[in-house]
Amino acid sequence: MVQSSGSKKTVRNSDELKMIKAVRKHPKAFGELYNLYVEKVYRYLYSRVGSVPDAEDLTAQTFLAAFESFDNFREDDHFAAWLFTIARNKAMDHFRRRDISISLHHVMDKSTGSDPLTPLIQSEQLTALTKLIKTLPEDDRELLRLRFLAELSFPEIARFLQRNEEAVKKSVYRLLARLRNQLEGSNE
């Protein structure tokens, strides 16, 4: 399915469409959609709740809710946007019960290069970035989660947030530029 957004076009994953149609015929085929998205949903939820058991539980709840309400999914929508809406709602339910914030140190893998100073420098940069991100409004943090942890495309994020794709792109790029400038300013 080709969907246009302004002058650019995006092509939905034909494998995903086949999986969706297969689930309509045989609900057991939902496992393929699960396998396609489980890691991304988990990372997204973990970045929000900061606990492995809670993220695992919320991921399971997300997929159970998606499976149970699959008949409500419209094929002209992006599956990822629909699924991440469910995940966000599950996270919000979780937050109603408690208030948790998570550091990027726990979400991102630290690379171990041959230079022993590299991990230390990366750790210091990550600490500075984490502090900057904590000062951002929730809407900006959500953009970062969706783009870099959930690995959603701009069209999927736009659908999820019910915003224009170009506006989402501009917001992400401006946000990244602002963070980069603030990081460079703090390192001088």
Mean pLDDT, 10 residues at a time, over the chain (188 residues)? 38 76 91 94 91 93 94 83 93 72 48 52 70 87 88 89 93 91 75
Structure tokens at 83: 């699924």
- Provide the whole-model pTM: 0.67
Q: Which domain holds residue 188?
A: 115-188
Q: What is the CATH number of the domain that holds 163?
A: 1.10.10.10
Q: Number of structural domains, the chain?
A: 2
Distance of alpha carbon 46 from alpha carbon 91, whole angstroms: 9
Say if residues 161 and 153 touch (Cβ distance below 8 Å). Answer: no
Last residue within a domain, chosen from 75, 102, 129: 102
In a domain, 110, yes or no: no
Say if residues 101 and 134 touch (Cβ distance below 8 Å). Answer: yes
Within this chain, do residues 14 and 98 fall inside the same structural domain, yes or no? yes
Burial label, 83 (beta-carbon count in 10 A; 0-12, 13-18, 19+): buried
